[in-house]
Amino acid sequence: METKVSVVLNAVPPYGHVIASERWRNTSLIQSLKVGGLKILFENELGVADFHLPNKSCILYVSECDIIAGNGFKRKLVRYRNTSSSFQQLVLVENTRLSEQYFSAVQRFVVFDLGLILLPVSGQTEASQLITQMGHGEGRENPFRRRSASRLLDPLVLALVQQVPGVGRVKALALLQHFSSIQQLCNAAPAELESVVGQAAAQQIHRFFHKPTAAGT
């Protein structure tokens, strides 16, 4: 049994397929993935992850309800981060009218405290579009793997960096060309940032990643 679970936890689907946790069966997100031409393989043994993708990424989905319900989702995120896996771990977080007041704290916890990559989505429809794009991306490098700066210049990563206050498209491009990983950007000192985007933006970016998460959020 242990061997089977280990195999499933590290299973990589072929392009055009997605492995989904059984708990997602009959959801609108799964229906949208099917409409997008993906074949869905359901599994009970994915652990904390919700999806495995062909580009060796896995996804944990944090819904609006998860965020509003309290801090339970944080414990799940920690278990996800601690999972022994060869996959690049992505976190999709719903940023909606109801959850937006908590989003900055969630973003700091995911990106800075846990060192994971967060991708904001408005709901399951937008999430399905993102997963479909990665599920069909045969021949493409995983854009989220921490390698050279040129490989980070992917539209999805660019959109992620632009979520940081004070960073527009031009500054996001400059940052991704200078820093070799999202984690390196998160840990950069103000002086390092200033040489790329100027003093004012550098201070904003540094405060964003180093502001302590308020208790109870």
pLDDT of 145 > 70? The answer is no
Instruction: Give the C-alpha distances (Å, rounded to integers) separating 161 from 17, 43, 53, 76, 168.
Output: 28, 33, 22, 24, 8
Query: d(Cα 206, Cα 175) in Å, to the nearest integer?
Result: 13
Continuous segment of H or E residues that includes residue 185 = helix 182-186
What tens digit of pLDDT does each residue of 37-69 get?
A: 999 999 988 889 999 999 888 999 999 999 999
Q: What is the mean pLDDT of residues 89-103?
A: 92
| Cα–Cα distance for residue pair 58/65, rounded to 1 Å | 21
Please report, as a single letter, which amino acid is at residue 93. V
Angstrom distance (rounded) from CA 196 to CA 192? 7
For 99-117, the pLDDT digits (tens) are 989 998 998 899 888 988 8
Average of per-residue pLDDT values in the chain: 81
pLDDT at 187: 79
**% helix / strand / coil in the chain, to the nearest 5?**
50, 15, 35
User: What pLDDT score was predicted for residue 30?
Assistant: 96
- Confidence at 11, pLDDT banded by 50, 70, 90: confident
pLDDT at 209 over 50: yes
The confidence score (pLDDT) of residue 148 equals 42
* pTM value surpassing 0.75: no
Question: Mean per-residue pLDDT for 64-89?
Answer: 90
